[in-house]
Structure 1
């Protein structure tokens, strides 16, 4: 018997019930025929648009909470990679034929992840059971008493689920306090850098604790020079943060005795072999020589630092890149390169959460970073750091951790 050729696009479109596909940024990628029909929107009105631009919340209902609950569920699915089943939800939608008129709807949604080869969420399957007619059917003509009883019962179940979530939230409060203390200990504010202003920023992934595997560090060098580094441990949460703390401390110490950033990363790579969870960590180290006005750098699989010159040109320091820590079976010397700068230039180091998006080429993110740097080049480091986060991170929160350091040279 010949194996049938399955047209999965046709299968998806014909699925019974409302099913839509959304990107991790909550933009519609596709919708099946039932979703298009029951939502009252054409496929062209859906695909490529942010979900809450297509279906804004009813502005006439001050108690409406459907958007918040839906968004929270979807972002939780993206962050955890797990299915999230929502309680009964009332979400009114605007009549497409009568702008300004809102139709009452009751939905029972489920959000499920579609994982890519890297194990990260590439799409959200948003399946919705439309139960509005079911609720209405419990009331006779002119008498909706039974419908309201059912509605009240369903809302009672929803409130019970919310109470369970609140108890879980309180149970995790202590864990978050520990996370905050750990963050403060491992990622302190930058120390004095003389006349050279510096700013640091740290943003955990949505749905994560307030610590992650990303780090930054500034270390004083002999002769009044400065070592600046950022790194990224694979994973999130307390386990990654503990590995991060060990590697950050080891690199900070190595920089003070090494002849250059490459030698410091060689020592860190050897140390990483003995630390569980440190494999494949990426890190970039830079040594700033104020007298010579040079930046010497070496990268272990990390996105390149950006050097913003006073004239507005941006150069990515990508001429000394090697594999991540402990990625090779044998120890080899790492490369390093040197570049000069003029007074007033700005050095920016960051982790991949600032520039990488699953649906884009990495160079798209780097171009976006360069554009933002040029537009905000006259800002001081604190203002520039805030501007970069505002320009480059999604408004709904990023799915990857982000560390950033900006220093005026």
Structure 2
């Protein structure tokens, strides 16, 4: 059959399950007849409406989380460009015949991106399987195989629902602990003798307020010198944050007594071998000497710092790059390099969440960062940090953690 002869409107209506098309703003652009029937709402009450205006959470149930779960899934699709299959969700729906009364419903949603010519997501195919009836066993007669199978499905679904409730409770407890843990591990900005510094910290979308990225600022002995470091532990949440805290503390201590950044990373690399969860952790550290106007640096598998000169020239500090902290069972001395700067230059350290995107070469992200820093280099560090995050992070939040340090030299 030739492609031109396919009636795609008919195909859309024949797709299995309830199917809706959502815009990137999460507005219902179209719905099939099954969606109209399953939702119990006429088409004109659906199309053109913000999906969570039509389907809000049940205000009478404090445990209701259907809208939050769906919103997180849709934002993941927009941020990653990948299909997101959700677990069975309880998503109560207000009765159209009895306003104020809510019906307990269970849905199995899948959200799939549709891309435009420019590669951006232009629509989300939101497909739902209605499984509510499978979870209702009361009022049915008979003890045949279908009834037994239905009872098994019901029991399994209730088990999953109870597991989800426990996970939500555990997640809520983690959220109570997370702010205090972040404040203890990563203060807003460690006090130093050098005041023209801005730091920013952004956990991945949907993560807790702690993550595996870190930064550190250290006043070094011997002259007017400052140590600036950032690092990245694989993973998110409290587990990654605990590993992050150990490595950050180790690097902070090593920087105070090391001859240079390479030696500091050598020490932390040896330590990383005995820290569970530190596999593939990366870090970069710089020693800034304000008396000699030099930056000495060394990197353990981390994206290169950026030195933005007063005249707009952007220099990536990539001449001393080595494998991640725990990469060598028998460590060898790491490389170290030195570059000069004029007063008024800006040093920027960051983690890969700022520049890496799925299906995109990292050089594209580095170029985007260099362009933003060049255009806004005259702004003060606080404003510059905010602008860089605004221009480089996706509007809905990044899928990886991000740490950023801006130092006016």
- Deviation digits for residues 328-372 of structure 1 (CA, Å, limit 9, x no counterpart): 232111001000111111111000000001110000000111111
- Give yes or no for contact 2:272–2:325 (8 Å, CA) kept in 1: yes
Alignment of 1:67-146 (within 5 A): 70-75=70-75, 83-87=86-90, 110-111=109-110, 128-129=127-128
5+ long unaligned stretches in structure 2: 1-7, 30-46, 58-66, 94-104, 114-122, 131-159
- CA deviations 1:280-327 (Å, max 9, x no partner) are 110000000001100000000000001111112211111100000111
Q: What aligned pairs does 1:5-404 form with structure 2 within 5 A after superposition?
A: 34=15, 50=24, 52=26, 55=29, 58=49, 65=56, 70-75=70-75, 83-87=86-90, 110-111=109-110, 128-129=127-128, 169=168, 172-194=171-193, 196-222=195-221, 223-404=223-404
Once residues 210 and 112 of structure 2 are traced to their aligned partners in structure 1, the CA distance between those partners, rounded to angstroms, is 24
How far apart are residue 108 of structure 1 and its match?
5.3
Aligned-partner Cα distance in 2 for 1:251–1:58: 52
Equivalent residue number for residue 135 of structure 1? none
**Structure 1 counterpart SS, 2:72:** helix
Give the corresponding residue for 2:156. none
| Cα contact 1:87–1:109 (8 A) shared by 2 | no
Q: Encode CA deviations 1:127-174: one digit per residue, 9 max, x unaligned.
A: 61488xxxxxxxxxxxxxxxxxxxxxxxxxxxxx99998896565433
Q: Which moved more, 1:328-337 or 1:68-77?
A: 68-77
Q: Partners of 1:289 and 1:307 in 2: how far apart?
A: 14
For the 8 Å contact 2:204–2:399, the answer to whether it is kept is yes
Please report the TM-score for the alignment, with normalisation by the length of structure 2.
0.68
Kindly tell me: are residues 331 and 58 of structure 1, through their superposed partners in 2, closer, same or farther at Cα, counting changes over 3 Å?
same
CA deviation after TM superposition for structure 1 residue 73, in Å: 2.6
Contact 1:88–1:109 (Cα < 8 Å) also in 2? no
Q: Secondary structure at the match of 1:84?
A: coil
When residues 327 and 62 of structure 1 are mapped into structure 2, their CA distance, relative to the original with a 3 A threshold, is closer
* Partners of 2:24 and 2:124 within 8 A in 1: no
The alpha-carbon distance between structure 1 residues 329 and 162, as it changes in their structure 2 partners (threshold 3 A), is closer
**How far, CA to CA, are the matches of 2:124 and 2:88 in structure 1?**
12
Distance 1:308 1:378 in 2: 10
| Distance in 1 separating the partners of 2:388 and 2:351 | 13
Distance 1:303 1:61 in 2: 39
| Equivalent residues of 2:27, 2:49 under 8 A apart | no
Q: Which residue of 2 aligns with 1:100?
A: none
The two structures, once aligned, show a CA RMSD in angstroms of: 4.0
CA distance in 2 between partners of 1:235 and 1:82 (Å): 21
Please tell me whether the aligned partners of residues 201 and 404 of structure 1 are also in contact (alpha carbons under 8 angstroms).
yes
Superposition TM-score, scaled by structure 1 size:
0.68
For 2:405 and 2:14, the matched residues in 1 are separated by 48
2:329 alignment partner, SS class: coil
